[in-house]
Amino acid sequence: MPPKRAISPEPLHPPSAIYRSTPITDRSSRFIAIYSPSLTAQQLQSRPELGDATHRITASRVPSTQRSLDPSQQPLYTATHSDDGEKYAGKALASVLSDLNVQGSIVVARWYGGIMLGPVRFDHIKNCAREAISKHLNSSEQQVLRAKKARTVVSHEEEKRKGDLIRVLPERDRSISVLRGLLAEKQSAMESSSPQGEKPVSPAKVPEYAKLPLKTLENLERARDATIGWILAQIEKVEVAQQAEIGHQAEIGEQAETGPPAELAQQPEIPQQPETTKKPETTAKTSTTANTN
């Protein structure tokens, strides 16, 4: 008979940080909490330092294997707890994990001192748990992870913002080119009745927006918006001037058709004096006859 196959040893768990609370003592009863973001509740409960505790209350909160159909919803978690003889204590401990929005496992050990504490024991259990979890949240390791996560979120938002600007800025450039052409056309119409001789406005060279940093793209967006606003204001001024010129020309045309204004037509006609023709003076020349005797 062949020998039995040797049982494979259990894999060693990677080292995980453990966070302990300060012990709370009340009328000879003592409470202490131990939290770990990666160890299981059973691993914490079986620690030698808690072997002689009267109660070892546990709670855990880990990501669920189920996935929501709506990606915008918060991730799902699976929560478990154990009273270990302290009725309702496990549920109170699980609420601490949920309130602080952390995942992992926690155990609160109580050494009973012989005096019943009443409802205040639940306060001690939750306060111990909060202190142990807070040490985890305030640890340098967790701060680094939070900073890295924040940078990832910011980087994602910056990439999205940059993509939007790369798409929007060419549209702004086309709008500016069209508006400049419209402004030039209206200005030439004001200066000459034949704007066909005007050369069209050549569009400016479009930069390679994809190669520019986000800060530069944001500055360009503000500059493009300011340019569009200025051109629109100039177009409005030209249109106002055009309307005034049209009104002036219409007024001149009406005066040409209807003659002089009524106040001038009502003035009495001044009779003209007949012209007197002045006859040319004739100088009578008398000839003197000299008689020569």
Highest-confidence segment of 45-49, 136-140, 244-248, 270-274: 45-49
C-alpha closest to that of 101 among 74, 82, 83: 74
Classify burial at 79, counting beta carbons within 10 Å of its beta carbon; exposed 0-12, middle 13-18, buried 19 or more: middle
Question: Could you tell me how far CA 156 lies from the centroid of its own chain?
Answer: 13
Each residue of 252-267: pLDDT tens digit?
A: 777 776 666 555 555 5
Residue 132 pLDDT > 90: yes
Residue 158 pLDDT greater than 60, yes or no? yes
State pLDDT tens for residues 70-113.
666 677 888 999 999 999 999 999 999 999 999 999 999 999 99
For residue 264, the model assigns a pLDDT of 54
pLDDT at 285 over 90: no
Between CA 77 and CA 101 the distance in angstroms is 10
According to the model, what pLDDT value does residue 247 have? 76
Q: Mean pLDDT, to the nearest integer, of 169-185?
A: 90
Q: Is the pLDDT of residue 154 over 50?
A: yes
Average pLDDT, whole number, for the chain?
Answer: 79
Judged by average pLDDT, the poorest of 55-69, 99-113, 237-251 is 237-251
Q: What is the pTM of this model?
A: 0.46
Q: Give pLDDT, residue 276.
A: 57
Cα(2)–Cα(58) distance, integer angstroms: 44
Least confident of 19-23, 41-45, 65-69, 125-129: 65-69
The full DSSP string for 30-80 is EEEEEEESSS-HHHHHT-GGGTT-SEEEEEEEEE-S---S-TTSPPPEEEE
pLDDT of residue 146: 72
Average pLDDT (113-120) is 91
Structural contact between residues 139 and 194, judged by C-beta atoms closer than 8 angstroms: no
Q: What pLDDT, in 10s, does the model give residues 3-32?
A: 444 433 444 344 568 999 999 999 999 999
pLDDT at res. 277: 55
pLDDT at res. 8 = 39
Q: What value does the mean pLDDT take over residues 265-288? A: 54
Q: Is the pLDDT of residue 125 over 90?
A: yes
Cβ atoms within 10 A of the Cβ of 108, count?
Answer: 33
3-state secondary structure 71-98: CCCCCCEEEEEECCCCCCHHHHHHHHHH
List pLDDT tens digits, range 193-229: 444 444 555 556 778 888 888 889 999 999 999 999 9
Question: Who contacts 39 (Cβ-Cβ below 8 Å, separation ≥6)?
Answer: 13, 16, 18, 104, 105
84: left (phi over 0), alpha (psi -120 to 50) or beta: left
Q: What is the residue whose two structure tokens read 């409802």? A: 119
